[in-house]
């Protein structure tokens, strides 16, 4: 008796792609524009064939699908069955062959806007903008603390990977290039992540020794992300990738007039070039930020109180001398 071939779990019918995960089928249409594109793939709006529930379906970019390391990351992302209010719930992975060919990752759909859009629309012009923007990011610290406790490093934290749904709930998106921190000799090779947010250890030039990727890598990226949310610009962004990466390796975050210096100091520590000089945990970073927000709000470009008192006193003395002379 000849062995039977299992039915395919990926089926195309016209412009529709059907995917089977366990006993459930999901479908998306090639005629519909994608929801977005990430470092590893393109995300489409899909639905459950049984319930009609909307889902997000990521197809790993074909040229990457057969790269063992990237394929392993896709498997890792799909296996992250986290139950956390600030993370996306994964459904599973679909592939014809575990080693080659197309690969799809299905997750629950998060509907909303990115955190940077929320900041520009609702927080930027508030009198207490700095405090409110920092508070809006606190759930990301909690999500990082959670995944780090599970041995996972995100490695692509940026404003577009933080969504706010229903006007209040924050979710950290796209664990597509995440790595398990307990993998032996976990190091970077080439560039992993997005250049203008990436920590120095995420890019290794030819001939250089690789540096370990660890939880402080995520802390660096979150520091750059928060700085951009607070100021409206990314200080490392440059016309070329090479210049951006050079700035990441050599330049520190500049002071800005509208953000208190204690807050900038916290972000500078988070984005220290040496991993040993950064905060060691997301919780430590969050606590330092909360403490900085409680300190006197002396803006970097403004008069500090002792200096201001001295200047006023000097002016009064000069006027008095002119009056009596």
Residue 315 resides in a domain: no
- Judgement on whether residues 104 and 154 belong to the same structural domain of the protein: no
Residue 98 resides in a domain: yes
pTM: 0.79
Binding residues for ATP: 58
Question: What's the confidence (pLDDT) of residue 301?
Answer: 41
Question: What's the confidence (pLDDT) of residue 143?
Answer: 95
Residue 86 resides in a domain: yes
- Judgement on whether residues 98 and 128 belong to the same structural domain of the protein: no
CA-based nearest residue to 292, from 268, 260, 315, 325: 260
Residue 271 resides in a domain: yes
- Judgement on whether residues 167 and 276 belong to the same structural domain of the protein: yes
Binding residues: 58
Residue 217 resides in a domain: yes
- Judgement on whether residues 69 and 165 belong to the same structural domain of the protein: no
**Dihedrals phi, psi of 171, to nearest 5 degrees:** -130, 130
- Judgement on whether residues 53 and 154 belong to the same structural domain of the protein: no
Question: What's the confidence (pLDDT) of residue 312?
Answer: 53
- Judgement on whether residues 273 and 226 belong to the same structural domain of the protein: yes
Question: What's the confidence (pLDDT) of residue 311?
Answer: 47
Q: How many domains, in total, are found in the chain?
A: 2
Instruction: Write the DSSP string, 157-173.
Output: --GGGEEEETTTEEEE-
- Judgement on whether residues 15 and 86 belong to the same structural domain of the protein: yes
Question: What's the confidence (pLDDT) of residue 191?
Answer: 65
d(CA 83, CA 171) in angstroms, rounded, equals 12
156 catalytic per annotation: yes
Domain end marker among 108, 128, 155: 108
Any idea what the CATH number is for the domain that residue 264 is in? 1.10.510.10
Catalytic residue among 23, 142, 156, 174, which?
A: 156
166-200: b or e for each residue (b if 16 or more CB lie within 10 Å)?
Answer: eeeebbbbbbbbbbebeeeeeebeeebbbbbbbbb
Low-confidence ranges of the chain (pLDDT < 70): 1-7, 38-39, 77, 80-81, 176-192, 205-210, 297-325
Question: What's the confidence (pLDDT) of residue 304?
Answer: 44
- Judgement on whether residues 210 and 102 belong to the same structural domain of the protein: no
- Judgement on whether residues 104 and 226 belong to the same structural domain of the protein: no
CA 61 to chain centre: 20
Question: What's the confidence (pLDDT) of residue 1?
Answer: 46
How many distinct helices (H) and strands (E) make up the chain?
9, 13
Host domain of residue 48:
10-108
């Amino acid at each position: 008796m000849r062995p039977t071939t299992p039915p395919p779990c990926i089926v195309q019918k016209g412009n529709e792609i059907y995917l089977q995960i366990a006993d459930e089928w999901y479908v998306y249409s090639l005629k519909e524009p994608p929801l977005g594109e990430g470092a590893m793939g393109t995300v489409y709006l899909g639905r459950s064939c049984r319930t009609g529930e909307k889902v997000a379906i990521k197809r790993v970019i074909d040229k990457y699908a057969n790269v063992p390391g990237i394929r392993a990351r896709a498997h890792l992302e799909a296996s992250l069955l986290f139950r956390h209010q600030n993370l996306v719930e994964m459904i599973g992975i679909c592939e014809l062959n575990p080693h080659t060919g197309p690969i799809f990752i299905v997750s629950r759909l998060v509907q909303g806007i990115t955190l940077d859009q929320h900041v520009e629309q609702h927080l930027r012009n508030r009198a207490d903008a700095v405090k409110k923007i920092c508070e809006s990011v606190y759930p990301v610290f909690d999500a990082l603390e959670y995944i780090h406790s599970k041995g996972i490093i995100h490695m692509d934290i940026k404003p577009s990977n933080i969504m706010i749904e229903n006007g209040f709930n924050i979710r950290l998106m796209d664990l597509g290039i995440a790595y398990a921190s307990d993998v032996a000799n976990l190091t970077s090779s080439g560039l992993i992540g997005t250049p203008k947010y990436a920590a120095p250890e995420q890019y290794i030039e030819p001939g250089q020794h690789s540096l370990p990727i660890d939880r402080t890598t995520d802390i660096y990226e979150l520091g750059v992300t928060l700085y951009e949310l607070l100021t409206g610009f990314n200080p490392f962004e440059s016309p070329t990738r090479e210049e951006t990466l050079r700035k990441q390796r050599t330049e520190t975050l500049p002071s800005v007039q509208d953000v208190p210096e204690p807050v900038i100091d916290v972000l500078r520590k988070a984005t220290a070039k040496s991993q040993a000089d950064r905060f060691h945990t997301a919780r430590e970073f969050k606590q330092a930020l909360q403490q900085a927000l409680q300190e006197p709000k002396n803006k970097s470009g403004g008069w500090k109180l002792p200096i201001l008192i001295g200047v006023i006193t000097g002016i009064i003395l000069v006027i008095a001398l002119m009056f009596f002379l």
